[in-house]
Each structure stands twice: as structure tokens, then as C-alpha cells.
Amino acid sequence: MNWLRDFVRPKVKKAVSTKDIADNLWCKCPACGQMLFSKELKKSMYVCTNCDHHLRLYLDKRLNMLFDNGEYNEISLPKIKDDPLKFKDTKKYTDRLKAYRKETGREDAIIVAQGDIGGVTSVIAAIDFNFMGGSMGQAVGEGIVKAAEIAIKGKCPLITVAASGGARMQEGMLSLMQMARTTAAVNLVKENKLPFISILTDPTTGGVSASFAMLGDVHIAEKGCLIGFAGQRVIEQTIREKLPAGFQRAEYLKEHGMVDIVVRRDEMKDELVKVISILMHKKPNLNRLALK
């Protein structure tokens, strides 16, 4: 046996690479650049332990965090005809859809779920930023419409969680029309005197901010998130000036009267429970904590 040729690698790698901490043991904070240990990050609900930056949160984690005991029923959404315009830029829209579906395991950029929040049965419609930047096309619009229907039927509050760059350009005018459709949907909830709470997370811009997301009875924004109508690059090109510090951040919007409450991620559930329980005239059930 030649010790040079038949060198046996130590089996450290195998010992470490269990499913849990598979590919990203470490994660870099996009704000301060600090390397963060994945396990720590999970514990802190994806908030940087160094600079307190709130990283973007996966949707299932968001829902776990908001619903009591992390329990909820996902509601199936009507199937939408793909690619009504037969849109092709550098790539076919259908190919893009396929790729995102494979990557995220979801049909489109929205989840509608029903469950208890502080003991009050509620409907959440949440946008998945990981699916084409959370862009709003027909499927997202249909999801909001469906969520509103269920909320009205069940006489429960509607909560939307926005995380979107805006309209889905590949669906052209059909995506613009979702601004009117989603507005009509949340308007029906409001007319039925049911609370509509809009949660704004990073980022909420374009067609989503200029429709249902800005029409809540109460607006709760996550600390530091970007909220605005026009993109920062477009504004810079228009006015040819540097943008002020903190521009279009949650705190800036609160200062300008567009947001009611700015919260840290770990405070969001409590704030939501408070608001819903007060508006629904119910005593909050605080024993049912969120799964962290």
C-alpha cells in the first residue's frame, strides 16, 4: 500500500454536512458585511446580530411567525392561464415561470392562508419576493381577490404582507389592471367593516405600494424596509441629485404620515395581535405564541 497514492481523506466533511446546515453554514449580512452563523441567524429571525439589519425572510417563516403556534391552512388558488401575451424578452416568460416554479416550489408569488392570530381567525395574503421579485401579475391579483372573498365569508380580518418590486411587466396591461382589482378586493373587505391590515416588508414599491398595500386601515412596516412608488434610480435620473439618507425607508414613511407602526421583526406578531383584537372587540389570547 502506497501511502502517497492511497491517501484516505479524513471524514470531517461527511461528519459536518448533514442536511440542516448543508450549503450555507455562514451567511453574509447584506448591510454590514458581517459573516453570520446560519443557526444564530435562524434564532434571531434573520436579523443581523451585528447591525440589526432585517434580512429578507422566507415566506413560510413569515407565516410561522405570524400565525399562532405557526399553524395555518394554505388556501388553494384558482389556476391562471400562463403568459396571456406570449411575452418574450431575452427569455420566454413561460421559461422564466418554469424556472421560478422549480426553484420555489410554488405556482406564483403569493400564498393565501387562514389561521388564528392571537386567537382571532384571520386571513393572510403574503407575497413571495423570491418568486420573480414578488411582482404582481394575474396570479397575485387573483390571490388577493380570493383572500378578500374568504375574509368576508368568514367575517375575519384580512392581512396582506407585501414584498414586491411592483407590477409584472411580462403580463403587460393585465398586470396594471391588478392594481384596480386588488384595490376593489380590499375595498370590499373595508365596506364589510372588517379590519384590513397592511404589513409592509422589504421592498414594497411600484404597483403594489400604489394599490392595496397603501390602503390598509392600519399600516405596519418592518424596521428599515424600502417602501415607495418610484424606484430610486428613476428618481435620481429625474432630479439629478443624490437622494437624502433614509429616503423611502419605513421610518421615513412613518415620519411622512404614510405608516402607522414601524416594528422590529420580533415585535410584529404582538403588534398585529393588539391591533386585530382591538378592532375585532376580542380579548387577545396571548398564550399562543408564534413559533420562532
Partner 1 sequence: MDKKDTMVLDFEKNIVEIEAKIGALKLLAEDEAVNIDDELSRLQKKLEKQLISSYANLSPWQKAQIARHPDRPQCLDYVNALIEDFTPLCGDRRFADDETMIAGIGRFKGVSVAVLGQQKGKDLETRVKYNFGMAKPEGYRKAQRIMDLANKFSLPILCFVDTDGAYPGVDAEARGQAEAIAASIEKCLQMKVPVVSTVIGVGGSGGAIAIATANRILMLENSIYSVISPEGCASILWRSADKVKEATEAMKLTAQDLKKLKLIDEIITEPVGGAHRDVAYMVEKVGEAISKNLNELLKFSGEDLKKQRTEKFFTMGRNLDK
Amino acid at 198: S
Nearest approach, Cβ of residue 188 and partner 1 (Å): 7
Total residues contacting partner 1 by CB under 8 A comes to: 56
Nearest approach, Cβ of residue 187 and partner 1 (Å): 6
Whole-angstrom Cα distance, residue 4 to residue 238?
66
Indicate whether 257 belongs to the interface with partner 1 (CB under 8 A): yes
Nearest approach, Cβ of residue 105 and partner 1 (Å): 24
Secondary structure (3-state) at 174? helix
Whole-angstrom Cα distance, residue 67 to residue 266?
13
For partner 1, the binding residue among 119, 157, 206, 284 (CB under 8 A) is 206
Evaluate whether 154 touches 196 at the Cβ level (below 8 Å).
no
Footprint on residues 146-185 left by partner 1 (CB under 8 A): 167, 169-177, 179-181, 183-185
Indicate whether 35 belongs to the interface with partner 1 (CB under 8 A): no
Tell me whether residue 260 is exposed, middle or buried, using C-beta atoms within 10 angstroms of its C-beta: 0 to 12, 13 to 18, 19 or more.
Answer: middle
Residues 6+ apart with CB under 8 A from 108: 77, 80, 131, 137, 139, 140, 143
For partner 1, the binding residue among 209, 265, 275, 276 (CB under 8 A) is 209
Indicate whether 243 belongs to the interface with partner 1 (CB under 8 A): yes
Evaluate whether 199 touches 221 at the Cβ level (below 8 Å).
yes
Footprint on residues 90-119 left by partner 1 (CB under 8 A): 90
Contact set with partner 1 (CB under 8 A): 80-81, 84-85, 87-90, 138, 141, 145, 167, 169-177, 179-181, 183-185, 187-188, 205-207, 209-215, 227-231, 234-235, 238-239, 241, 243-244, 247-248, 256-258
